[in-house]
């Protein structure tokens, strides 16, 4: 397999130092210093330790941080402290290999209606499945469970599960091919798709396949293998996804209504009429596990950039875009924190990310892992002479 990684594009001079790493959660428990580019410097702070695959991180309007742990727990952080007791422990989650509790989203009007959504794997007579459930969050408890959608085919490593509300107020759900690639091309199956649902799980009337015989009306796009990154570009509102490829062939796609993204007929650099090729393709694999556009002000240079947590790539991928055009890419924190899963922007503009070392067989646990960490601006490093350092390298991938 051809190695597309390029040699280091910049001299890497690490001048920051690791400060004392405490076992307690909270700011400054572990701090390292690095510069991302000529104009931006950051510190990495440890937010929480001793976790099990924090899969999804969301921020409540009142300042609390909710996150899922894959074995089935919803956890909460308040004022910088992790509450010991989970908000919820799911009784019916299938935790085989890389399955479990994965996606989480807050309703766009969470402040008013306190609705929180989870996507997780379960088992029934037909095998492994994914369902989406809605809860009410009240006084630190999740109550009024409602299954809004279920019976999505799933398999270990191929269960999608990223859920997010779009700018149109609809709930989007990525699904995996459930280890049956042919299902991704079949419109009568929910596997290997992006689904678009109303907040109660019903089908929006303007979905692309509504009314087509033999097609599931929930489908928004198809031909996906296992997309787990999902966000909308600020300004344009265009949906971007990151998707795991078969053996290399990882993708970043611009995903549009009713379109076919190729799997399993077209993959890597193969293109076919009527199928959309990826905007970016990565061989060897980086294993992109998440995706978010940066909208904040803490890092003005990052505004509008796409960030992707990489498992096998053990880094955060940063893609600088001009609309649909890729300007450049780089990898941040490469091989410093192990496998990286979620990347999420906090209301204050700092960038949270999670590790995923409890991922057999690829990941191996380390002391105090898994963790949630965050990038915060490092003004001192930006201003101080000789304090620049770097943990990056140019990443050309394949630009269409």
Cα dihedral 70, 73, 77, 82, rounded to 10, equals: -90
- DSSP lists the bridge partners of residue 308 as 317
Measured between alpha carbons, how far is 320 from 214 in angstroms, rounded to an integer? Answer: 40
Measured between alpha carbons, how far is 76 from 106 in angstroms, rounded to an integer? Answer: 13
Nearest to 97 by CA among 157, 152, 52: 157
Number of residues that bind Ca ion (CB under 5 A): 2
DSSP 361-392: TT----TT-S-EEEEEE-HHHHHSTT---B-E
If the CB atoms of residues 266 and 346 are measured against Ca ion, the closer one turns out to be 266
Shortest distance in whole angstroms from residue 291 CB to Ca ion: 15
Shortest distance in whole angstroms from residue 82 CB to Ca ion: 38
Measured between alpha carbons, how far is 64 from 57 in angstroms, rounded to an integer? Answer: 11
If the CB atoms of residues 261 and 353 are measured against Ca ion, the closer one turns out to be 261
If the CB atoms of residues 163 and 279 are measured against Ca ion, the closer one turns out to be 279
Shortest distance in whole angstroms from residue 251 CB to Ca ion: 5
If the CB atoms of residues 143 and 271 are measured against Ca ion, the closer one turns out to be 271
Residue nearest to Ca ion (CB): 262
- Share of the chain residues as helix, strand and coil, in percent rounded to the nearest 5: 5, 40, 55
| Dihedral pair phi/psi, residue 112, rounded to 5° | -90, -45
Shortest distance in whole angstroms from residue 171 CB to Ca ion: 23
If the CB atoms of residues 41 and 195 are measured against Ca ion, the closer one turns out to be 195
Give me the half-sphere count of Cα atoms (radius 13 Å) on the Cβ side of residue 65.
Answer: 27
Shortest distance in whole angstroms from residue 267 CB to Ca ion: 6
Shortest distance in whole angstroms from residue 146 CB to Ca ion: 33
Active-site amino acid positions: 158
Measured between alpha carbons, how far is 176 from 164 in angstroms, rounded to an integer? Answer: 16
Nearest to 255 by CA among 164, 356, 343, 178: 164
Helices (H), the chain: 110-113, 379-383
Q: What angle do CA 71, 72, 75 make, to 5 degrees?
A: 110
Nearest to 264 by CA among 169, 141, 393, 177: 177
**Window 215-274: residues binding Ca ion (CB under 5 A):** 261-262
Shortest distance in whole angstroms from residue 263 CB to Ca ion: 5
If the CB atoms of residues 9 and 265 are measured against Ca ion, the closer one turns out to be 265
3-state secondary structure of 383: helix
Residue 282 binds Ca ion (CB under 5 A):
no
Q: What angle do CA 157, 187, 342 make, to 5 degrees?
A: 30
If the CB atoms of residues 192 and 349 are measured against Ca ion, the closer one turns out to be 192
Residues binding Ca ion (CB under 5 A): 261-262
């Amino acid at each position: 397999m051809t190695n597309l990684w390029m040699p280091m594009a910049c001299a890497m001079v690490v001048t920051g130092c690791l400060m004392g790493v405490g076992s307690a959660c909270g700011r400054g428990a572990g701090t390292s210093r690095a510069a991302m580019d000529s104009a931006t410097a950051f510190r990495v702070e440890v937010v929480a330790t001793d976790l099990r695959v924090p899969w999804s991180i969301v921020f409540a309007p009142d300042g609390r941080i909710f996150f899922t742990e894959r074995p089935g727990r919803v956890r909460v952080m308040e004022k910088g402290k992790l509450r010991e007791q989970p908000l919820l422990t799911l009784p019916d989650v299938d935790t085989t290999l890389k399955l479990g509790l994965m996606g989480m989203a807050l309703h766009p009007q969470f402040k008013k209606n306190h609705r929180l959504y989870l996507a997780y794997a379960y088992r029934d007579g037909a095998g492994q499945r994914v369902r989406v459930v809605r809860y009410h969050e009240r006084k630190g408890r999740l109550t009024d469970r409602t299954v809004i959608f279920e019976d999505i085919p799933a398999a270990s490593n191929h269960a999608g599960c990223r859920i997010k509300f779009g700018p149109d107020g609809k709930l989007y759900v990525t699904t995996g091919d459930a280890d049956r690639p042919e299902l991704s091309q079949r419109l009568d199956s929910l596997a290997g798709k992006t689904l678009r649902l109303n907040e109660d799980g019903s089908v929006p009337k303007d979905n692309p396949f509504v009314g087509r015989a033999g097609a599931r009306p929930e489908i928004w796009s198809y031909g996906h293998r296992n997309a787990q990154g999902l966000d909308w570009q600020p300004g344009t509102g265009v949906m971007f996804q990151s998707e795991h490829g078969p053996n290399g062939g990882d993708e970043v796609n611009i995903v549009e209504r009713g379109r076919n993204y190729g799997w399993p007929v077209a993959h890597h650099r193969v293109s076919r009429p009527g199928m959309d090729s990826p905007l970016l393709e990565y061989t060897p694999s980086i294993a992109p596990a998440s995706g978010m556009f940066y909208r904040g002000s803490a890092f003005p240079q990052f505004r509008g950039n796409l960030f992707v947590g990489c498992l096998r790539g053990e880094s955060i991928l940063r893609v600088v875009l001009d609309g649909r055009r890729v300007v450049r890419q780089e990898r941040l924190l490469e091989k410093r924190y192990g496998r990286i899963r979620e990347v999420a922007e906090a209301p204050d503009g700092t960038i949270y990310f999670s590790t995923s070392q409890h991922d057999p067989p690829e990941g191996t646990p380390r002391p105090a892992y898994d963790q949630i960490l965050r990038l915060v601006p490092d003004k001192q490093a930006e201003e101080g002479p000789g304090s620049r350092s770097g943990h990056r390298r140019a990443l050309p991938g394949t630009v269409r």
